[in-house]
Amino acid sequence: MGHGFGQLYKLRGIITYRLSPFEQKAFAGAITHGIPNTIRRIAENIPYVVPPLAIGYLIYDQVEKEHHRLMLKDPADFVNDK
């Protein structure tokens, strides 16, 4: 056979074009397209992520305040102690 692994078959009627890895630009458009795309994707997900986090934080904060209030001693219970 004598062919490389990617050359073990024959395609007829299909034209394929290949670009050498040495001719490609690995980070082409990473700054001009990648950063704005990342910012856009984060901005699109903010309405889905922030409200549940805010509600969860508000519930947690109120529960902690109530727990702290319940752990305090009532001064009226110790008025007659000496």
Let me know if residue 58 belongs to a domain. yes
d(CA 52, CA 62): 15
Q: CA dist 38 to 31, 42, 54, 62, Å? A: 10, 6, 23, 35
Q: pLDDT tens digits, residue range 18-48?
A: 778 788 888 888 899 999 999 999 999 999 9
Let me know if residue 20 belongs to a domain. no
Let me know if residue 31 belongs to a domain. no
Q: pLDDT tens digits, residue range 49-78?
A: 999 999 999 999 999 999 999 999 888 888
CA angle 68, 71, 72 (to 5 degrees): 95
Let me know if residue 23 belongs to a domain. no
Let me know if residue 54 belongs to a domain. yes
Domain range holding 60? 48-72
Let me know if residue 37 belongs to a domain. no
Handedness of CA 75, 76, 77, 82 (dihedral sign): positive
Number of domains composing the chain: 1
pTM assigned to the model: 0.57
**How much is the pLDDT for 22?**
81
